[in-house]
Structure 1
Amino acid sequence: MKRKLLTFLLALSMTAGCSAQAAKPVEINENVDSCDTCHMGIRDASLAAEVLIDGKPMKFDDIGCMVTYLQQHKNIDAAFVHAHDSKEWIDFQKSYFVHDSSIESPMGYGIAAFLTKQAAEKFANEHGGQVFSKDELLKQNMMEFKMHSH
């Protein structure tokens, strides 16, 4: 009996631990939600990004706006971007990025996200641009990205 109870409690704690770690982005409501950096309305959810802090979503209309926020705020639960090719949410921490002035983005940062480095490199080879890891992107001056995108 004790063994069954112990097994049940162990399984329960493992399940609780997994669900607590599986942070997911919340839905973006186009033309209702606004960017937490620039305060512009989010018009295209497929270009939006999101950060979760203590379970509360911070929404951004452009990846560049989110990067600007993350450069100043380090304690986050999770961050998400939309993949340029699939338009699906992907984990910012595991993503790769291409910056190029030809990439259209709401605030003109010219950043596109990709699930894999290979996908980012393929896009950059076909369309131009420079590939960045998440860590490399966080070290960039976002104002320079914005200035070179117009």
Structure 2
Amino acid sequence: MWLKALKSTLIFLIVVLSNCGEVKPEMLAVGEMKCAHCSMSIVDMRFHTQILTDKGKRYHFDAIECLDDFQKQNNPPTKKIWVTNFLDRKEFISKEDAIIIKSDKIRSPMGAGLAAFKTHEEAKPFE
């Protein structure tokens, strides 16, 4: 009997502790997922953005403007929002720390010309 209780306790602790780490964005393969707002396939990873809600649901977007429109329409309670560094498609930046610019030099999937950068210096050539 005590062995069964110990086993249940250990399983519970493993599940709880495995969910206590740092929350990170999910890396996607090109075309693996569709945008939660416009339903286009996410293929240009320089513009991939994502939201993690307070309840743990993830929403992926093909452009910053889709993320912004989704937030305006649905107002999900968010735990974290990430945008991809335009200069490094494998690097995510917290949206609150990102430098987001609008530029005619940038052709984003939805055409608004929005892109995220880590620093103002990195963004200057695109302004």
Query: What TM-score do you get using the length of structure 1 for normalisation?
Result: 0.63
CA RMSD of aligned residues (A): 2.0
2:51 is the alignment partner of 1:51: yes
Match of 1:83 among 80, 85, 102: 85
Counterpart of 2:37 in structure 1 is 37
For the residue of structure 2 that corresponds to 1:65, the secondary structure is helix
Superposed displacement of residue 45, structure 1: 2.3
The answer on 1:111 being equivalent to 2:110 is no
Cα separation, 1, equivalents of 2:121 and 2:46: 21
Q: What is the rounded CA distance, in whole Å, between the counterparts of 1:84 and 1:56 in structure 2?
A: 24
Cα distance in 1, alignment partners of residues 116 and 72 from structure 2: 17
Query: By how many angstroms is 1:74 displaced?
Result: 4.8
CA distance in structure 1 between the partners assigned to 2:49 and 2:114 by the alignment? 11
Aligned-partner Cα distance in 2 for 1:27–1:111: 20
The structure with more helix, counted as a fraction of residues = 1
Deviation of residue 76 (structure 1)? Answer: 0.4
Mark the CA change 1:85 to 1:29 in structure 2 (over 3 Å): closer, same or farther: closer
Closer, same or farther in 2 for the Cα pair 1:36/1:82, shift >3 Å? same
Aligned counterpart, 1:93 = 96
Which structure has the highest strand share of the two? 2
Q: Which amino acid aligns with 2:26?
A: V
| Deviation string, structure 1 residues 19-39 (Cα, Å, up to 9, x no partner) | 35x221112232230000101
CA distance in 2, matches of 1:127, 1:32: 28
| Structure 2 unaligned spans of 5+ | 1-16
Say how many residue pairs are matched.
107
SS of the counterpart of 1:59? strand
Offset of residue 116 of structure 1: 2.6
